[in-house]
Structure formats: C-alpha cells, structure tokens
Amino acid sequence: MSEVVMPRLSDSMEEGTILTWLKQVGDEVAVGDELVEIETDKANMAYESDTAGTLTEILAQEGETLPIGSPIALIGGSETDQGQTARAAGPVSDTTPPPGGGGPASSPPTSEVENAEALTAEAEREDHQAASASENGERVKASPLAKRLARDKGLDLATLRGSGPGGRIVKHDVEEAETQAGPAPSTQPEGAGLAPSAETAKGNVQTQELNKLQQTIARRMAESKATAPHFYLTIEIDMGKAVAARAAIKASSKDGDLVPSFNDMVVKAGAIALREFPKANGAYRDGRFELYSRVNVGVAVAAEEALVVPTVFDADRKGLRQIAADTRAVAAKVRDGSVTPPELSGGTFTVSNLGMFGIDEFDAVINMGQAAILAVGAIREVPAVRDGAIVPAQLMKATLSCDHRILYGAEGAEFLARVKTLLEEPVSLAL
C-alpha cells in the first residue's frame, strides 16, 4: 500500500487545497495519470501519480487544505496483485460472507448495508467516468481549470470541442459554451461567499476571502518590501529605431509568422545585459549572494484576480521570434491553468510592462529570490531636442527596482544603461 502525500508543486508552497479528485476510489491508476487537482500558492495544478495501482482510499476530501507531506490518499497494488495477496493470506475467515450471498444467520444486516453502499459508490464512479468520457469511449482531454469551471457551471465536457493543443479543452472553450447555452439558473443567493454587509459611514461593506494565489502574493510582496531595501533607477529610452525595426520585421513576415512585440525586445535586451552583469541575475539570501548560471526572465502576466510571473528560460540564447513564441505559450498556460511549477519558479529576473494600459512609468516590487525587476512604461511620441532642433521622438521610460543588499547604485545604473543601448540599437538584439 503506497501513501500519497500533499506534494510540493512550487518552491514557495507550504500547503495545498484539494480542488477535484480526478480519480475515484476503485479506479486503476498508472504512473503519470492525473490524480488530483490542487490549488497551490501560485496556480491550480493537476498532480500526476508516481505510483501505479488501485486508488483504495481518499483521505483528504475536496475543499480540505493540508500542509506539504500530509497523507491525501492510499494506492494499493493492482487487482491481480490483490488477488494473489488474498490467496497467499490463506482461507477466508468465518466472519466473511460466502460468495453466494449473505453471511451466517446470526450476522446482523450490516453486510447488506455495506453491499448497498458499495453498489452506490460503484454507480457514482461509473457516472463520474461517463461524464469524463467522449462518445467513442476515450477520456476527454481538458485542463484542470476547464474541468473545474465545467463542473461549477453544470456543463458536460464530452459535449465541448477543445481549441487547445491536441484538442484539449481549455477555459475559453467552457466560457464560450456557457455563453451559447445562456446563463444557468443560480443555485445560491446573490452575494454567496461574501460576508454579510455591514452599514457604516462608508456604506455597505463586504469582505471577500483571498484565494491561495492572492494570499501568497500579499505575503511575498509584504516580505519583499519589508526585507529587501528597494531603490529605484529610471531611464528614458529612444525607441525610434526599435519601432522601425519591428515595422520592418512585420513587413517581411509571411502570413502566420509571429511578430515580436516591444516587450519581447525588452526581454531580449534585459537577458543580454543580465549575462554581462551577473549580480543582476542573482539574489541575496541568508547573508550570501546567489548567482545563477541560467538567464531566465519572468514575464508578469495578469491572470484571474491575480498577477502571475511565468518564465522564459535561457532568454539570452534565444532569438526574438522564439522569445515571442515562448512568452505567448506560457501566458496562455497561465490563463488556462495548465502552467507547470518550474515555469512559475524558475525566473532569475522579471520584466513587468504596463505600457499597454497607458502607464508612463511605475515602481515595481521585487520578486522574492531575485535581485531586481524592470518596470516598463508606454512608448510616447513626444518632441525632443536633437542637434539643437526640436524633432518628434518615440520615448519610453523604464524603472529598475534594485535590492540594495546585492545590486548597488552604480551597478544598477550600468545595467540599465546597457539595456538602453541595446534597445536604441536593436540590430544587436539579433546577434
């Protein structure tokens, strides 16, 4: 009998909440099968079993929150192994009902109740399997988030068409199906899940509980500001040549080709600079400097009611188109709930861009375990003085938030100046 414990699905995870059991008691489990969907401090993730056998008991029910290492289920051997074990154990005891029907006359009707409960459980398992299977008998491929949304909205996954990789059903497919079907009747009173409102001088006050991800963001951002002495450096970058370069790339691209964004250019420029300034690609931890050999740039992505930072790995070694492809791929994974723990915890530096919202400049909070974060604003067409003449220019402000325990003022300034040079002469980004 193997014990399944609450896994550590991210570097900062301390506890997890059981969202949905993807296997039921009695189901056969193979190594690599998705066993349970767990809400972590960063995302909702499906845990894949590392043990083969039969799910014999579920110890943690849906909705329970348990610390790392707590038992959540038991997996026994396969049915064949169990039969061999039973035969090796010797004759059946006289308290066990014979195969033909009920037990001894003196036995209470408990066995009948147990049999009825077993039949009911078996029927529920069959219903669950039927709800998760397509018409040809194959299991429906869907992201954990899509499964949870479909269950909450009362939608049958077998009736949906997936738009994800390999026909996988993702969040968008469930939401689109709900829109086409019309709003489902509400089974809860309006405002369910919120604390009762209280009349105050501020009006009616409602409180809303944070999910695991929001709790972690609140805790880690508070820890970062409380423990890392932030200082900020802002620089103005002439993006004229970068704008022209992107226009040329777009004009020469074929239909279907991915055109890098300005943020992809910033990621590439930052990655090159990180390779040249190792302390910017490190962290202060427990009185020591940690310097990382890989340059992995995290890209801040707005998810549902939270901010998640998936990673573009080895960004210094990749071209602009590959960075663009990787960025879009991990952003899509964040939004459909299929992002993996390494993709969330492998960043060595972060780029946060609010330029698409019209923000000129802002100060970002450093992610724990990193030395700095680069906050990027909008590109503005403004008048500028060039050789004594006023000319139009396309300028962008970038602010580097630094942890003064590892990245000092001069080093941070040199790093930011290098990013500026790379973006103002973008031909170097293709080298």
What are the sequence ranges of the domains in the chain?
Answer: 2-87+115-181, 213-430
Burial of 20 (0-12, 13-18, 19+ CB in 10 A): middle
- Which of the following CATH numbers is that of domain 213-430: 3.30.70.1520, 3.30.559.10, 3.50.50.60, 3.40.50.10470? 3.30.559.10
Q: Which of these, 411, 398, 374, 216, lies nearest to 297 by C-alpha position?
A: 374
Q: What pTM value is reported for the model?
A: 0.64
Query: Active-site residue among 128, 172, 230, 404?
Result: 404
Q: What is the pLDDT of residue 402?
A: 97
- Three-state SS string across the chain, please? CEEEECCCCCCCCCEEEEEEECCCCCCEECCCCEEEEEECCCCEEEEECCCCEEEEEECCCCCCEEECCCEEEEEECCHHHHHHHHHHCCCCCCCCCCCCCCCCCCCCCHHHHHHHHHHHHHHHHHHHHHHCECCCCCECCECHHHHHHHHHHCCCHHHCCCCCHHHCECHHHHHHHHHHHCCCCCCCCCCCCCCCCEEECCEEECCCCCCHHHHHHHHHHHHHHHHCCEEEEEEEEECHHHHHHHHHHHHHCCCCCCCCCHHHHHHHHHHHHHHHCHHHHEEEECCEEEECCCCCEEECEEECCEEECCEECCHHHCCHHHHHHHHHHHHHHHHHCCCCHHHHHCCCEEEEECHHHCCCCCCCCCCCCCCEEEEEEEEEEEEEEECCEEEEEEEEEEEEEEECCCCCHHHHHHHHHHHHHHHHCHHHHHC
Residue 363 tokens read as 């100060």
Location of structure tokens 């459980």:
121
Location of structure tokens 């990749």:
318
Classified by CATH at the fold level, domain 2-87+115-181 comes out as OB fold (Dihydrolipoamide Acetyltransferase, E2P) (2.40.50)
Lateral strand order in the sheet of 15-21: 44-48, 34-39, 15-21, 65-67
Active site annotation includes 404: yes
Q: What is the pLDDT of residue 80?
A: 42
Q: What is the pLDDT of residue 138?
A: 54
Query: Would 2-87+115-181 and 213-430 be classified into the same CATH topology?
Result: no
Neighbours of 142 (CB within 10 A): 26
Q: What is the pLDDT of residue 83?
A: 46
CA distance 234 to 94: 82
Residue 327 tokens read as 């960025």
The sign of the torsion formed by the CA atoms of 335, 338, 340, 343 equals: negative
Low-confidence stretches of the chain (pLDDT beneath 50): 79-137, 186-187
Location of structure tokens 């069959």:
126
What would the pLDDT profile of 98-122 be if each residue is shown by its tens digit?
Answer: 444 444 433 444 444 344 444 444 4
Q: Which of these, 332, 407, 335, 399, lies nearest to 365 by C-alpha position?
A: 399
| b/e sequence 282-312, b meaning 16+ C-beta within 10 Å | bbbeeeeeeebeebbbbbbbebeebebbbbb
CB 218 within 8 A of CB 210: yes
Side-chain-side CA neighbours of residue 161 (13 Å) = 1
- Phi, psi (5° rounding) for residue 209? -70, 145
Name residue 248's amino acid: A
